[in-house]
Amino acid sequence: MAQWRGIVALSQAYQVSPSPILRRRLIEDSEALISFRNLSADFVDDLKSIKTMVFGSLAVFAVLLLLCAVILLVVNQVGVRGRLEVMAHQDRLTGISNREHFIHTSKRANHAVAGALLMIDIDHFKRVNDRFGHGVGDGVLKEVAARLKAEMRQMDLLGRIGGEEFAVWLPSLDVPGALLVAERLRRAIEAPDFPDAGKVTISVGVSGWPMKSEWKASYHRADRALYQAKAAGRNVCRSVEV
């Protein structure tokens, strides 16, 4: 509006001006004002376009940022859930299956296939803790678990039942075959010596586990065989038939 008022004023001045030079100057000023107005309108349009582009880009950026935040949150929750599941299934010290996970998994597997159950006990483990301390004792437990795991098939399951006691589920093996495995495990623990603890041995009890039979019955048989191995002087394997 200010530009139009300026143009009107110049027009009135042009009509009353007696000088040709002044009239030409007024014409030039009028054209300048009109050009300025057109330029101003174009500039405003450009500003509107820039504003639309900027706000549109900001909106897209905000959506992308929100989407990234949601993805990170989901990934983090999945990671936390996975870690919690692992913690619920694993023995905290040795990294193998804990008692609950071992029993649950072996019982479920036994519904599909028969096998054998090993009960393993570290001989005189209390002496290790008393002589060298619980730190060395923890190292022995971890090393025993690692050596046992290294001698087993991928389908076998190793668990820490409690304290210095371990269990092994051997699917598709009968008692004679399981005794061979037990003897191999015993030799793997006996030699070489353990760091900081020297010679460590295990006793092993073996029992068959018929398909779809009770866990407790198989456990008690294997535990009875383990007791016989200890009574025989330890560092031996004994079995109990079904």
DSSP state of 111: T
In contact, 179 and 239? CB cutoff 8 Å: yes
Q: Could you list the beta-strand ranges (E) of 28-126.
A: 115-122
Residue 144 CA, chain-centre distance (Å), reads 26
Please report, for residues 71, 74, 101, 104, 218, the alpha-carbon distance to residue 84 in angstroms, rounded to integers and kept in the order given. Answer: 20, 15, 14, 17, 30
Contacts with 40 (C-beta within 8 Å, 6 or more apart), sequence order: 3
Q: Which candidate in 164, 165, 190, 214 is catalytic?
A: 164
Active site residue 164: yes
Contact 200, 189 (CB under 8 A): yes
Hey, which residues are catalytic here? 164
